[in-house]
Amino acid sequence: MLSCNSFDKKKVNAEVLLTKELNAMTWNDVDEYPTFESCNKAESRGTKKLCFETTLAALISNRILTYRIIVAEALNDTLYLDFEISNQGKLSISDIHNAEHVTSEIPDIKAYIKRSLDSLPKIYPAIKRGQYVTTAFKLPLIIKVE
């Protein structure tokens, strides 16, 4: 027969164990990075991450190229996209860092980038210990217009 006292001790021990386990996890690192189906063939974790990042940058860049952009002076600059991929695979941009002259030359650049996300293929979320988790990334995006 279990007494209330021993049940409380087991509950406390389980909570202590859970707290220790959560503290031991490296939350800034995941077992598997978010990915597109086309990147699933990559063999190593690092290769999958690189595939995801280059595929995402290429998809955004290719979509931006469909817009007719006219500039007064040539641009060759890098924007940095801060984005998050939810545990359901939904991508959202939290911030776009760019040089002032990019915005002055292409006032709608942020809108173009956000619209380019509408046609992305399915994103599979990151995995940590068998669970889908939300992750945040910073992605460089080269803007080159002549």
Give tens-digit pLDDT for 22-73: 454 444 578 888 999 999 888 888 888 899 999 998 998 888 888 888 888 8
Give tens-digit pLDDT for 66-120: 888 888 888 888 888 899 999 999 999 988 887 677 888 888 888 888 898 888 9
* 21, two tokens: 């386990």
CB neighbour list of residue 132: distance below 8 Å, 6 or more residues apart: 87, 88, 89, 125, 126
pLDDT over 70 for what percent of the chain?
Answer: 80
**Helices of type H across the chain:** 4-24, 45-64, 100-105, 109-116
* 137, two tokens: 């990334």
